[in-house]
Amino acid sequence: MVYRFLLFCFFLLMSGCSTTLRPDLSLPAAEAGYPTAEFYAGGNLFHGLGSVVAARGSPLSDVNLEVQGYFSGVIRVDSAACGVSESVVYSNSSRVKITLPGVAVASCLLDILVSPSYPEKNNKTNERTYQFKGQLAVKVLGKQDPWIGYSTKLRADGDEPVIIDVGAPGQYHLVFRGCSSKYDEMLRTPSSTIKAQFKAVVPAKNKDPHCLLEGFIERVDKWSPPVRLSWQVWRYSSDFLPLPIPSVTAGSWGRVSVEGDPSVSVISLDDEYKVNYKAEFYFDDKAPHTLRVFTVKGRSAVCEYYFDSNEGWGWECLN
Amino acid sequence: MGMLELIKLLSGGMDTVKSALAQGHTFLAGLFLFVVVASFIYIKFQSLYKKGIQRANLRDQTKAQIENPIDNKADEINQKKAENEIEDILKGGH
């Protein structure tokens, strides 16, 4: 009996007590054309795709781009038009500030690639790990020009409505170019939003898996300045499933329980990272938090806990 | 042989070793222990070897990322083109 106990202890020591990365049977997100990098620009959190406006002639560093790294690894950011070609080695799951050089002259697309290295002690099964891709569209405009940036991750065989918040009922002129689009329509709305369909905006002949629509919308029955639009459209493989949003349950003694999909390998609340698909954290429910879950295939979900003056404290998740 | 099988073999096998020693079969007991230890070392080395290959792949991947910029010139050219078309429409009073 003593021998057996000693042997058990010996093997526990040899194999280590840490949890391990879990397999994810999905297609890798980056290869499926589904961007999932977590980054911040202009004070907003983006998951995979984001857009930001820069006033013409202002320093590009005003974009305030920060990319979230997981564990340790390399973050790469490139754009020929914005003159950025930078790779940064990071550690300790830090959020890396990327200072864009020069002044805003021309709009550009910043491609982002996060390549994390997971702790070896947590990869006993030698799971192959994948990268997180992202893209930030920087729109350069005059200071007074109104603009709205949108992005859509669209299933390759699917369609979705293009919904634009116009603020009031009326008749509007909507125009798009890029992505082979020649969309030019007069649309009337009885509500505060205008709707079209992607199938109508982006023609079937456009085979580009990701492209950028540029356009404008203006009210025609009552004069108002045209609002420029930028819309990133990324079509992802119809075999790919985005990672489900994790469930968060308030526990006792100021704790929360988080449970992700069984394919989730890592759950993180703010700066605390746990290798598992479910975890508990201490939680101050009167302070903002960021929760993230991700798999070895680069599928992820990022949730923000924040205060809304109408609804109080609550979660908002992107996946 | 998996780690679990090895644990089972070892825990069950210690009784065999004790009984062999009690009957004076020192060679058999030694042989058994040798096989067990050798299997354990083999498993550990195999795992280290796999990790080594994985680490080398990751190193190559990281090196490639550090050295090779992501080429998105075509996307940016399309962006510029679409933007110019929109500005032309706006200037032309459509």
pLDDT tier for residue B28 given thresholds of 50, 70 and 90: confident
A311 or B52: which leads in pLDDT: A311
Question: Is it true that A38-141 and A157-236 share their CATH fold?
Answer: yes
Domains contained in chain B, number:
1
Alpha carbons B41 and B33: distance in angstroms, whole number: 12
* The pLDDT of residue B48: 81
pTM for the whole structure? 0.83
* The pLDDT of residue B92: 83
pLDDT tier for residue A10 given thresholds of 50, 70 and 90: low
Alpha carbons A257 and A269: distance in angstroms, whole number: 11
B14 and A87 within 8 Å at the Cβ level: the answer is: no
pLDDT tier for residue A49 given thresholds of 50, 70 and 90: very high
pLDDT tier for residue A34 given thresholds of 50, 70 and 90: very high
From A46-55, A278-287, B53-62, the region with the lowest mean pLDDT: B53-62
Number of residues in chain A: 319
Angle, CA of A227, A229 and A231, to the nearest 5°? 165
By C-alpha distance, the chain A residue nearest B4 is A11
Between chain A and chain B, the number of residue pairs with CB atoms below 8 A apart is: 103
Angle, CA of A102, A108 and A109, to the nearest 5°? 120
* The pLDDT of residue A4: 62
Calculate the alpha carbon distances from B62 to A69, A111, A131, A299, B65 in Å. 14, 16, 11, 20, 5
Tell me how close the Cα of A199 comes to any Cα of chain B, in angstroms.
18
Alpha carbons A39 and A86: distance in angstroms, whole number: 15
On the CB side of A101, CA atoms within 13 Å amount to 9
A80 and B72 within 8 Å at the Cβ level: the answer is: yes
Report the amino acid identity of residue A218: E
Q: Is the pLDDT of residue A16 over 50?
A: no
Mean pLDDT of B18-27: 82
Sign of CA dihedral B84, B85, B89, B90: negative
Please answer whether residues A148 and A226 qualify as being in contact, where contact means their C-beta atoms are separated by less than 8 angstroms. no
A133 or A124: which leads in pLDDT: A133
Q: Is the pLDDT of residue B93 over 70?
A: no
Q: Is the pLDDT of residue B4 over 80?
A: no
Alpha carbons B9 and A292: distance in angstroms, whole number: 42
* The pLDDT of residue B8: 66
Tell me how close the Cα of A319 comes to any Cα of chain B, in angstroms.
24
Mean pLDDT of A171-197: 94
A253 or A62: which leads in pLDDT: A62
Domain positions in chain A: 38-141, 157-236, 247-318
On the CB side of A288, CA atoms within 13 Å amount to 6
Q: Is the pLDDT of residue A39 over 60?
A: yes
A126 and B51 within 8 Å at the Cβ level: the answer is: yes
Chain mean pLDDT for chain A = 91
Please answer whether residues A214 and B83 qualify as being in contact, where contact means their C-beta atoms are separated by less than 8 angstroms. yes
B65 and A126 within 8 Å at the Cβ level: the answer is: no
Among the partner residues A15, A87, A208, nearest to B65 by beta-carbon distance: A87
Q: Is the pLDDT of residue A218 over 90?
A: yes
Among the partner residues A76, A89, A178, nearest to B79 by beta-carbon distance: A178
Q: Pairing between strand A184-189 and A210-219? A: unpaired
Please answer whether residues A135 and A146 qualify as being in contact, where contact means their C-beta atoms are separated by less than 8 angstroms. no
Question: Measured between beta carbons, which residues in chain A are less than 8 angstroms from residue B81?
Answer: 177-178
* The pLDDT of residue B60: 76
ipTM: 0.84
* The pLDDT of residue B33: 85
Mutate to test the interface with A, among B83, B91, B94 (most CBs of A within 10 A): B83
Query: At what angle are helices B3-22 and B26-67 packed, to 10 degrees?
Result: 160
Alpha carbons B87 and B82: distance in angstroms, whole number: 9
Chain A contact for B64 (CB, 8 A cutoff): no
Alpha carbons A214 and A109: distance in angstroms, whole number: 13
Would you list the DSSP string of A92-141? TTPEEEE---SB--S-EEEEEEEEEE--GGG-TT------EEEEEEEEEE
* The pLDDT of residue A2: 57
Domain of B7, in residue numbers: 3-91
Would you list the DSSP string of B1-65? --HHHHHHHHHHHHHHHHHHHHTT-HHHHHHHHHHHHHHHHHHHHHHHHHHHHHHHHHHHHHHHH
A26 or B63: which leads in pLDDT: A26
A81 and B80 within 8 Å at the Cβ level: the answer is: yes
A85 and B69 within 8 Å at the Cβ level: the answer is: yes
User: A157-236 belongs to which CATH class?
Assistant: mainly beta
Tell me how close the Cα of B21 comes to any Cα of chain A, in angstroms.
15
Tell me how close the Cα of B58 comes to any Cα of chain A, in angstroms.
8
Please answer whether residues A248 and A291 qualify as being in contact, where contact means their C-beta atoms are separated by less than 8 angstroms. yes
Q: Is the pLDDT of residue B94 over 60?
A: no
| Cα R_g (chain B), whole angstroms | 33
* The pLDDT of residue A46: 97
* The pLDDT of residue A132: 95
pLDDT tier for residue B69 given thresholds of 50, 70 and 90: confident
Token pair, residue A132, equals 């997180």
Q: Nearest 5°: phi and psi at B78?
A: -65, -40
Q: Cα A74 vs. chain centroid, distance in angstroms?
A: 18
By C-alpha distance, the chain B residue nearest A79 is B72
Sign of CA dihedral A182, A149, A29, A65: positive
Tell me how close the Cα of A169 comes to any Cα of chain B, in angstroms.
22
User: What is the separation, in whole angstroms, between the first and last Cα of chain B?
Assistant: 75
A2 or A55: which leads in pLDDT: A55
Fold of the A38-141 domain: Immunoglobulin-like (2.60.40)
Mutate to test the interface with B, among A1, A9, A76 (most CBs of B within 10 A): A76
Tell me how close the Cα of B11 comes to any Cα of chain A, in angstroms.
5
